[in-house]
Structure 1
Amino acid sequence: MRLFDLLYRQFDENPLSDAFAHKVLGFWKKYSTGDSLKIINQLSQGLVELGIKPGDKISIVSEGRPEWCFVDMACQQVGAILVPLYPTLSPQEYKTILEEAEVKMIFVSNGTTLKSVAAAAKELNIDALYTFNKIGGSKSWLDVMRAGKGKNKEAVERRKQSVNADDVCTIIYTSGTSGKPKGVMLTHTNIVSNVLESAKVSTLDRGKDRALSFLPLNHIYEKTGIYIYINIAAGIYFAESLETIADNLKEVKPHTFNTVPRLLEKVYDKIIKKGNDLSTIKKGIFNRAITLGLNYDPNKNQGTLYNRQLSVANKLVFSKWREALGGNIKQIQCGASALQPRLARVFWAAGIHVLEGYGLTETSPVIAANRMDGLSIGSVGKVYDNLEVKLGDEDEIMVKGPSVMKGYYKNEALTKEVLTEDGWFKTGDVGKIMHGFLYITDRKKELFKTSGGLYIAPQQAENKLKESILIEQAMVVGEGQKFPAVLIVPNMDEVLAQLSGTYSLVDFDDMRKDPKVRALFQKELDRVNEELGKWAKIKEFRLISKPWTPETGELTPTMKLKRRVIMEKCKLILDTIYADKSEFSLADFENLKIEEMSLEELERFEEMESL
């Protein structure tokens, strides 16, 4: 099966009146399955008329919208390869990728994107530049449709028949937490196999339910998600923007959506903030509901009293949460980074079923996922049935199966580094498997050693720190240093709330040195350190004044830390942490639990003891 075949199957089995929808001039414009196919076929005819040949590369630089999907499938039908790009890249980044991929045609969404892309396109002599929005003087995507009207129908049919399931249908450039982006070549089989397997995890009713889409479509997580919705005949509604999600949820009343942990963290923090502003009695009820939620275990019956209290909390508190999400949510898929277990517990207690999964661009993407009938909070779920997973050196997760990429575009050397001759892909993630569930313990490339020679796994501490309402973001540092430290982006609203009356004007540089402020964060650090090994305890912290964002370069578009970039930007701050500190000593190993140490840590312990 080819990827575009899924929409034809929807037309034959469950045609929808709202296969795709988005907001236009304040109203939801809907495209039926049949209308969508007519547009896609006419676009395909236009691409042939304009000289696009099998294997040619076409880029889309746009937010999620129906036209994005129409162009994607039109490309697939004529054998062209889609190279989707983030709308937030710099002109130089566009030029680098467009040149490497040898792109022949580009579709952009609006004037802002057009300005950034046009400069790179001009340098590369790419004249075929089209916009989705109407922009005076620019060519429109509708011009491609007009070019194909009444032409090339037989040619498109021949192209469709010649497309093989093992042909590359897209090259996804990973944003990367460091280094140059890599072009991941994915075939129809790669993505379709993941789509069909994901259907087993879904609880949606075929042909009846709706999905809201707001994550970037050029990321394989949301792109595969779109084809999962097509496969199960769910109407796909594209949110206007991240800022309008709350309103769009109430309007669309979706049954599902994909998200990333960072967005759920922000939702939770807003909920907590509103709860703290309630009257005394209501605040007491709210806090009791949160406490019940934090102790929730979907796999455990906690007794009549707990269940009765949870029922009351659902009626008085959690029902309002579900209503804010539209009132129809059956399941939420969460991926791209680690979800805090406490958030999973609270949302599940509230009847909001957040299913954490795990995957990479190179695996199309899902490797494992929690399911409604098989859940373990803190894990990323059970491995998909059509995949094999094993643990390699240093417990690196390795995967084999039909969704594993064909390779990196124009980079055979790197392909050979991550793909073994017998087809195993090295994910770079460290994990463990317990009772059939996969757990991610860290990112192999993000593990670092202190000068004492012991490994530090930063994500463990970072995730625990972010549980604090005082902390927006955190990054553990200390590679090659005597001890770990952490950079913290504080939640300034909450800091000021807890120190009410202390500051009339906020001068961050003075404030972060204040003993009262530092005491707040030291308390959070002490809480986290209690759960860390002696060698991994964080001894210092520094507060950072500005949040890390994709726009300012410290985060990838999927909200992962670009550690190298942050280290460079915060070099002067890091220098203050490690200046004039005492040397690493055997005292750092006091009270270690020998039975919990790894072989490497035991070896290092023996070396230090001999000194």
Structure 2
Amino acid sequence: MTSPYPKYHLAEYPHQFRVRYPNKTILRYYNKRNERWEKLSGQQVADRCLAAAKGLAYLQLQPGDRVGIYSPNRVGCIATELGLFMMRAVSVPLYATSTPDQVEFIVQDAGVETMFVGGQFQYNNAYEVQLRGGCLRRLVIFDPEVVLAPGDTTSMYYEEFIRRGDAVAYENKATVTASQALATDLAVIIYTSGTTGRSKGVMLHHSNFIEQVYAHQLKYPFISNRDVSMCFLPLNHIFEKAWSYLCLSMGCQVAILSDPKRILDALPVVRPTMMSNVPRFWEKVYIGVQEKIERTPSPLRRVMRHAIQVGEHYFFDFINEGKKPSIFLSLLYQAYDKVLFTKVKKAIGLQRGRFFPTAGASVSPEISRFFRSINVPMCVGYGLSETTATVSSQPMRGFDLESIGTIMPALQVKIDPETSEILIKGPTVTRGYYNNPEADAEAFTPDGYFRTGDAGRLEGNVLYFTERIKDLFKTANGKYIAPQMIEGLLTVDPLFEQVAVIADGYKFVSALIYPNWEALRREARHRGIEEGLTDAELAVHHEVHRMIMAHLEQNLKSVAQYEKVKKFHLLTEPFSVERGELTNTLKVRRKVVAELYAAEIASMYQE
């Protein structure tokens, strides 16, 4: 099987936009000034990419130079990065939430001299880094409303950057350099947010992206230029980056959302057919739907529960198994889909959904089962920055709900017989870490397989995820605990917003829990707990603890006795990126949490 789409180098994308989709909308973005979603055709996007490349030529950028992009999602991020690729330069994307210290580390490690920044927050942090000394010499600012610091004589606004590059000589330089771009050129250095240790710069070459895009075209041939994708995960996240380039390569319309907190407002307007996402989004939607069902009158609640059961029976017992359902079941399902499921999807903005790839963390089978049952095609996958995103993903039909899908074309995957670690080799795998030979030595086996750090098993071509090897806890009794698995089971419960499992070196499992305080108060009222108590007072209330233990028991009924949470501590403040408790991808930094909450943890293990 071959793809109808040739293997294009990312530096060729602007030219392909101009040739193949000159009048078709391929990008949309929300304009804050007029509060409208604006459209950009292939021709307009190509013009913006070329303008960026010309501006970079004016700055005398050389092939191989590393350039930072430190901004929330915006059209300028994509245009600038494609301009960088045309100039054979290297993009170094940063999370928009990065602190000055994080920015400084990446700037110094990658040797970034020029950085594009988004708004005031990013400008202030980056300029502070520039003042500290080092290699950062110049900032280019996307947002024209940013106020420059007194004495800043080196920064320029993006509009000025574009104007200065508007000359024939710079256009010739950009077009000639783009035509010389090679698949072996380094494209991106993505710095892992890492739950432990030093952040590492993952080197991804153009060949990695070319092969990953092609592999997805082969595996999901139904994706077409009629599709609309919502881009709201950060574009420096490899999942969103690779996915967006896949969509653009096929002429799909990509709607760029700068503020991810506005996603639930944006979805009903954009009505995407596709969207790459992380499990937490689906968990929150699932919890919201379940709460609405619980608050409906009893007769309607029974109907909705029955509809979901019918959807589950229809999809998992027949469609997913390649079997033909009875006429009665088909008609009943279609009626429920039209009357109930469509209303649920329309309220969220997913009524046109055809494909929703999901990765970044473990996904509860309960979540997957629910969304497939109501005809929301969520597709679970697995990947890493080091593999240019996808390693495996579920097909649309014929998949095991417990799996993380089938292996992508051209990849070789095997399991270490001693540690059960997932090992990967293939054209989408990184060649190593930037400026970090020690990490390279640890990351690859003698025969060239990349060590993922994840445990799993392989059954034929189907991959199953077990746990992050480094995250495995060993209790004082010698039992191994998989904290992510336990946390995943608990955060499906509407009562639990965030959970950090504690067990390493201790006699039993405990947990730090930040509850959904609104849901907790609602249930507390039903249990007759007096109203007017503060969060801190409820956190130590005896009846609240009994209530929490009931939820813990219910959600962990499928695990072994030694894996169950025996004690917990309720938090009144959530874990945050700013305090270092979470990575930029919202994973718990266990070492930081253990240090910050040492007293609370110690209290749970007092005799």
Normalized against structure 1, the TM-score is what?
0.90
Q: Select 1:314's aligned residue among 308, 324, 337.
A: 337
Aligned to 1:21: 28
Preserved CA contact (<8 Å) 1:191 1:224: yes
Is 1:403 the counterpart of 2:428? The answer is yes
Aligned to 2:302: 284
Q: Kindly provide the amino acid, as one letter, of the partner of residue 355 in structure 1.
A: C
Is 1:239 the counterpart of 2:263? The answer is no
Aligned to 1:607: none
State the aligned residue count. Answer: 580
Aligned to 1:391: 415
Bigger shift: 142-151 or 4-13? 4-13
Separation in 2, partners of 1:330, 1:413: 43
Q: Select 1:345's aligned residue among 369, 381, 395.
A: 369
Residues 571 and 291 (structure 1), Cα distance of their counterparts in 2 relative to 1, 3 Å cut: farther
Residues 445 and 363 (structure 1), Cα distance of their counterparts in 2 relative to 1, 3 Å cut: same
Is 1:428 the counterpart of 2:453? The answer is yes
Q: Kindly provide the amino acid, as one letter, of the partner of residue 527 in structure 1.
A: Q
Residues 93 and 83 (structure 1), Cα distance of their counterparts in 2 relative to 1, 3 Å cut: same
Bigger shift: 126-135 or 106-115? 126-135
Is 1:218 the counterpart of 2:230? The answer is no
Question: What secondary structure does 1:328 align onto?
Answer: coil
Residues 520 and 303 (structure 1), Cα distance of their counterparts in 2 relative to 1, 3 Å cut: farther
Q: Select 1:271's aligned residue among 258, 267, 289.
A: 289
Q: CA deviation at 1:326?
A: 4.4
Preserved CA contact (<8 Å) 2:14 2:49: no
Residue pairs, 1:199-598, within 5 angstroms: 199-202=217-220, 204-292=222-310, 297=316, 299-300=320-321, 310-323=333-346, 324-392=348-416, 393-434=418-459, 436-500=461-525, 502-580=529-607
Separation in 2, partners of 1:420, 1:102: 29
Separation in 2, partners of 1:294, 1:557: 35
Is 1:130 the counterpart of 2:151? The answer is no
Q: CA deviation at 1:203?
A: 5.6
Question: What secondary structure does 2:218 align onto?
Answer: coil
Aligned to 1:584: none
Q: CA deviation at 1:223?
A: 0.6
Q: CA deviation at 1:336?
A: 0.4
Residues 109 and 368 (structure 1), Cα distance of their counterparts in 2 relative to 1, 3 Å cut: same
Question: What secondary structure does 2:455 align onto?
Answer: strand
Separation in 1, partners of 2:449, 2:221: 31
Preserved CA contact (<8 Å) 2:211 2:427: yes
Residues 376 and 14 (structure 1), Cα distance of their counterparts in 2 relative to 1, 3 Å cut: farther
Aligned to 2:4: none
Q: CA deviation at 1:358?
A: 0.4
Q: Kindly provide the amino acid, as one letter, of the partner of residue 192 in structure 1.
A: I
Separation in 1, partners of 2:410, 2:530: 58
Preserved CA contact (<8 Å) 1:461 1:528: no
Separation in 2, partners of 1:512, 1:488: 10
Separation in 1, partners of 2:393, 2:589: 25
Preserved CA contact (<8 Å) 2:395 2:405: yes
Separation in 2, partners of 1:264, 1:257: 12
Separation in 2, partners of 1:537, 1:277: 30
Q: CA deviation at 1:7?
A: 4.1
Aligned to 2:151: none
Deviations 1:298-321 (A, max 9, x none): 525687776565444323321112
Bigger shift: 166-175 or 7-16? 7-16
Preserved CA contact (<8 Å) 1:79 1:160: yes
Q: List gaps (5 residues or longer) in structure 1.
A: 581-611
Give percent identity, aligned residues only: 28
Q: CA deviation at 1:217?
A: 0.4
Bigger shift: 143-152 or 154-163? 154-163
Is 1:145 the counterpart of 2:165? The answer is no
Deviations 1:198-237 (A, max 9, x none): 1234365522221111000011111101101011210111
Q: CA deviation at 1:550?
A: 2.6
Separation in 2, partners of 1:538, 1:489: 15
Q: Kindly provide the amino acid, as one letter, of the partner of residue 133 in structure 1.
A: D
Residues 503 and 14 (structure 1), Cα distance of their counterparts in 2 relative to 1, 3 Å cut: same
Q: CA deviation at 1:506?
A: 3.1
Bigger shift: 370-379 or 259-268? 370-379
Preserved CA contact (<8 Å) 1:203 1:330: no
Separation in 2, partners of 1:520, 1:308: 42
Deviations 1:556-594 (A, max 9, x none): 2222221112212211111011222xxxxxxxxxxxxxx
Separation in 2, partners of 1:349, 1:342: 10
Deviations 1:125-175 (A, max 9, x none): 634211111135562112222121123233223322332211211100111
Bigger shift: 242-251 or 183-192? 242-251
Residues 352 and 2 (structure 1), Cα distance of their counterparts in 2 relative to 1, 3 Å cut: same
Question: What secondary structure does 2:211 align onto?
Answer: helix
Residues 451 and 181 (structure 1), Cα distance of their counterparts in 2 relative to 1, 3 Å cut: same
Preserved CA contact (<8 Å) 2:52 2:162: yes
Residue pairs, 1:37-52, within 5 angstroms: 37-52=46-61
CA RMSD of aligned residues (A): 2.1
Is 1:120 the counterpart of 2:132? The answer is no
Preserved CA contact (<8 Å) 1:294 1:342: no
Preserved CA contact (<8 Å) 1:177 1:560: yes
Separation in 2, partners of 1:368, 1:442: 16
Q: Kindly provide the amino acid, as one letter, of the partner of residue 491 in structure 1.
A: N
Q: CA deviation at 1:435?
A: 5.1
Bigger shift: 215-224 or 450-459? 450-459
Separation in 1, partners of 2:44, 2:285: 36
Q: CA deviation at 1:447?
A: 0.6
Preserved CA contact (<8 Å) 2:118 2:141: yes
Q: CA deviation at 1:119?
A: 0.5
Q: CA deviation at 1:436?
A: 3.0
Q: List gaps (5 residues or longer) in structure 2.
A: 1-7, 149-154
Separation in 1, partners of 2:217, 2:305: 37
Q: Kindly provide the amino acid, as one letter, of the partner of residue 546 in structure 1.
A: E
Q: Kindly provide the amino acid, as one letter, of the partner of residue 13 in structure 1.
A: R
Question: What secondary structure does 2:575 align onto?
Answer: coil
Aligned to 1:592: none
Separation in 1, partners of 2:211, 2:332: 43
Separation in 2, partners of 1:439, 1:16: 44
Q: Select 1:8's aligned residue among 12, 15, 21.
A: 15
Preserved CA contact (<8 Å) 1:449 1:455: yes
Aligned to 1:590: none
Preserved CA contact (<8 Å) 1:207 1:234: yes
Bigger shift: 473-482 or 186-195? 473-482
Q: Kindly provide the amino acid, as one letter, of the partner of residue 39 in structure 1.
A: R
Preserved CA contact (<8 Å) 2:360 2:383: yes
Question: What secondary structure does 2:275 align onto?
Answer: strand
Deviations 1:37-64 (A, max 9, x none): 2221222122122121111111111111
Q: CA deviation at 1:257?
A: 0.7
Aligned to 1:79: 88
Bigger shift: 405-414 or 24-33? 24-33
Q: Kindly provide the amino acid, as one letter, of the partner of residue 250 in structure 2.
A: I
Aligned to 1:609: none
Preserved CA contact (<8 Å) 1:109 1:132: yes
Residues 549 and 316 (structure 1), Cα distance of their counterparts in 2 relative to 1, 3 Å cut: farther
Separation in 1, partners of 2:349, 2:301: 22
Q: Kindly provide the amino acid, as one letter, of the partner of residue 505 in structure 1.
A: G
Separation in 2, partners of 1:519, 1:200: 52
Separation in 1, partners of 2:241, 2:14: 14
Separation in 2, partners of 1:546, 1:89: 21
Q: CA deviation at 1:182?
A: 0.7
Question: What secondary structure does 1:184 align onto?
Answer: strand
Separation in 2, partners of 1:202, 1:322: 23
Residues 305 and 556 (structure 1), Cα distance of their counterparts in 2 relative to 1, 3 Å cut: farther
